[in-house]
Amino acid sequence: MKLPLTYNLRSVTIRWRSTLATVLCTALVVAVYVVIQSLAVGLEKSSGNTGDPRNLLVIRRGATAESTSQITPEQYRIIRYFKGIERDATGMPLASSDLSLVINVPRMQGGEANAIVRGVSPLGAKLRPQVRLTAGRWFTPGKREVIVSERLAARLAGMQIGESFKTGPATLTVVGQFDGDRSAFDSEIWMDVNEARSIFDRENFSSVLLRPVDDAAREEIIRQLDGDKRFKLRGLPEELYYLEQTGAVKLIKILGNFLAATMSIGAVFAAMNTMYAAVGARTREIGTLRVLGYRRKTILAGILIEGAFLALLGGAIGCALSFFFNGWSVGTLSFETFSESVFDFRITPKLVAQGLAFSIVVGLVGSLLPAIRAARLPVISALKAT
Amino acid sequence: MSLGGFILKNALRNKRRSFLTAGSVAISMFLFVTLQVALREMTIPPEDVSASLRIAVRNKISLANTLPARQLPAISRLPGVAVITPFTFFGGKFKDDDSLGFAQFGVDPEKFLRLFGEAKIPADQLAEWKKTRDSCIVGKDTAKRYGLKIGDRVTLVGTIFPVDLELKIAGIYEGTIDDTNMWFHHKYLDEAMNNWGKVGMWWLKAENAGVVPDLLRRINAEFASTSAEVRAETERAFQMSFVSMWGNISLLINSICTVVVFTLALVTASTMSMAIRERFRELAVLKALGFRRRQLVACILAESLGLALAGALIGVGGAAILFSSGKFSFFPVFELTPRIAGLAFLIGGLLGVIAMLAPARSVSRMSVVQGLKTLD
């Protein structure tokens, strides 16, 4: 005989005080889990969303980031005239030599941040269509001008259009802001590459970005770079390079899992308390059900469902709570570039599903022992219970 | 039965519930303590004894920019400089590590011990290191982790530098706050880089604390408006500049701590009120026997506080044991300070008090007749 589900579901609301505590407790645990994982997802998405699938990035072999890579002007001249690189309308190869370096900039709320300055050549912008100017104008080479990502400008002091900041021997003026389309470029300041080389006293470039005509040409260029022992350079798809820049993701995930695991024990305790109390208070009711012919198994399943429902309710509230964070942008240290990287909390359907599943598990584990106890109650003494 | 015994009996009458209550307090306090310790490591780096005399000089643009080696004589001759060494972070990968397992620095071996006096190393090993240009010394924690012995040869694959370094281990040191670093001859790196002529930073030690502010000012002024302007700061200030880089992460951890404590308050409060409500009848009997309202409330308070503090003791104690075992070596020093432990106990105690407020109120309000009638 099946126990009507409504019996268990309605029982949940009877002891509302402890039920509420359990629901809220599960809600908070699930919210913490979802929020922290969404941080990892946001960082992954920002890295995964960077680059153009047609582009190839060339960096020094062994370098883990552009900022620690070096390419000499001679190497650039050779690479630029490799076969199989697309050309623009004027016949110039679509290749850009960039300089990437880290500078200290004051933060809006005090303290200092490391920010990436990218020196780009005129073709560099064409190769990165993700970057769109949203305010002001493009920098003029030679005029000590820069453009800044909107999202970075919101975090740093002196980065609004018309303001200027001092770094090294130069004072740079912000003349425009851009949107990086939620990519790693959202953490950058851009200026002319040769101007950057002279200001920061760098003879070499950091990287070369180029666009092969097709996949075969791309493979050929990668092979050519690998084969040339003098070069000590490595070519890889631009998208792949940014995908690898996610060392912090691992750390955030570890933090998230550690918190979820530990806090869930607390939530299980809370659920257990509530369910034990629920079973204790309903001893006579359960005895009656048994007399009516309900099987032990049915009672067990009923209590389990009750616990799972309770926790699921909490899980749903938790997921709803976590949506307050969705899209909120944060910045923290990137381990690869040693600079501030800006990204968002991203709550995905998958994360919500994980959060809900997690809450059901908490509910089931928490109500298992009380359910067994309820199922084992001897009928006669249960009926006698006050 | 004494009053104390009565309270104890009451607290343990439903052993399962007492365990669950104390257990949830314990877990939350464990989390709280762990997060706070991690946050402290991130925001207030540990400090060596002689750190107050040490000065770090780096390129003003950012730490990632180098300084010309020719700055050395200009800084050395400033009054108050006791000792100075080049100091370059190599950032090499060791073996199959996919990330940097430990830090390696190029320094002047002749000056190293005078600068970092807390490092203990046998005299013969130190002499061997000073003598051999391609040798290095390594902290005992790293030596243990990778099973390195004196005489071993190691290769560091450069990630920042376009060269790999082959080094022979001349000695193993200990006694600093972070015994994980590797130190090698700066000259060796310079040669590997074809007479590079640059350094990552300068580290120096002042003759006494009094000259430090003046020295900082003089170093900064010395290179103002040159092609390589510098920023000189105390070791402490230098470390603190890293803190700011963490960005929003510290705020995030603090928010999590708050949520954890709040969640716990909910659980404990609901359990306590459950425990009290189920013995309303008994409490009514006690009242009928002539116990005063204040005494009953005191009983409940003692029980609630006792359970919460027992939980806090387990949580904080567990954390203390775990951290001191060194298995939790995410940070070089994972130290549970008395302040954090005290804070955890304070929160635990407060929870105990908050949890008993609602039940105590209903107990003191109930009339004897009402209480005796209670069934549940």
**Is B248 in Cβ contact with A62 (below 8 Å)?**
no
- Interatomic CA distance for residues B255 and A123, integer angstroms: 45
A329 forms beta bridges with A344
Nearest Cα of chain B lies from the Cα of A251 at a distance, in angstroms, of: 10
- Cβ within 8 Å of B, A 282-321: none
**Is A64 in Cβ contact with B262 (below 8 Å)?**
no
**Is A25 in Cβ contact with B266 (below 8 Å)?**
yes
Chain A residues inside the 8 Å CB shell of B162? 60, 62-63, 70, 232
Question: What was the pLDDT predicted at A328?
Answer: 81
Question: What was the pLDDT predicted at B328?
Answer: 54
- Interatomic CA distance for residues B360 and B298, integer angstroms: 9
Q: Which ranges constitute the DSSP H helices of A116-203?
A: 122-126, 150-153, 193-199
Q: How far is C-alpha A317 from the geometric centre of its chain's CA atoms?
A: 22
Q: Which residue of A has its CA nearest to B228?
A: A168
Nearest Cα of chain B lies from the Cα of A216 at a distance, in angstroms, of: 29
A108 touches chain B (CB under 8 A): no
Question: What was the pLDDT predicted at B74?
Answer: 93
Nearest Cα of chain A lies from the Cα of B238 at a distance, in angstroms, of: 12
Give the pTM: 0.78
- Interatomic CA distance for residues A270 and B203, integer angstroms: 54
- DSSP line for A67-122: GG--B-HHHHHHHHT-TTB-B-TTS-BSEEEEEEEEEEEEBTTSSEEEEEEEEE-H
pLDDT at A189 over 60: yes
Q: pLDDT of chain B along its 376 residues, tens only?
A: 577 787 777 777 778 888 888 888 898 888 889 888 888 877 776 666 667 789 999 999 888 889 999 999 999 999 999 999 999 999 888 877 666 678 899 999 999 999 888 889 999 999 999 999 999 999 998 898 888 999 999 999 888 888 899 999 999 999 887 788 999 999 999 999 999 999 999 999 999 888 999 999 999 999 988 888 999 999 888 887 777 667 677 777 788 888 877 877 777 777 777 777 777 778 888 888 888 888 888 888 888 888 889 999 999 998 888 887 665 555 556 778 888 999 999 998 998 888 888 878 888 887 777 777 765 5
* HSE-up of residue B152 (Cα within 13 Å, Cβ side): 13
> Mean pLDDT of all residues in chain A?
87
Question: What was the pLDDT predicted at B18?
Answer: 85
> Of all helices (H) and strands (E), which one includes residue A351?
helix A349-376
- Interatomic CA distance for residues A207 and A201, integer angstroms: 16
**Is B262 in Cβ contact with A266 (below 8 Å)?**
no
Q: Is the CB of residue A337 less than 8 Å from the CB of residue A284?
A: no
pLDDT at A26 over 90: no
Chain B residues inside the 8 Å CB shell of A63? 159-160, 162
| Span A212-236, average pLDDT | 89
| Tokens of residue A195, six digits | 């101007």
A277 touches chain B (CB under 8 A): yes
Task: Tell me phi and psi for residue A212, to 5 degrees.
Answer: -70, 155
Kindly provide the b/e burial profile for residues A136-145, where b requires at least 16 CB atoms within 10 angstroms of the residue's own CB.
beebebeebb
Out of A21, A39, A269, whose CB is closest to B23?
A269
Sign, CA dihedral B144-B145-B147-B152, equals negative
Nearest Cα of chain B lies from the Cα of A300 at a distance, in angstroms, of: 20
Regarding an ipTM greater than 0.85, the answer is no
Question: What was the pLDDT predicted at A3?
Answer: 66
Nearest Cα of chain A lies from the Cα of B208 at a distance, in angstroms, of: 28
pLDDT at A373 over 90: no
| Span A303-324, average pLDDT | 91
**Is A68 in Cβ contact with B159 (below 8 Å)?**
yes
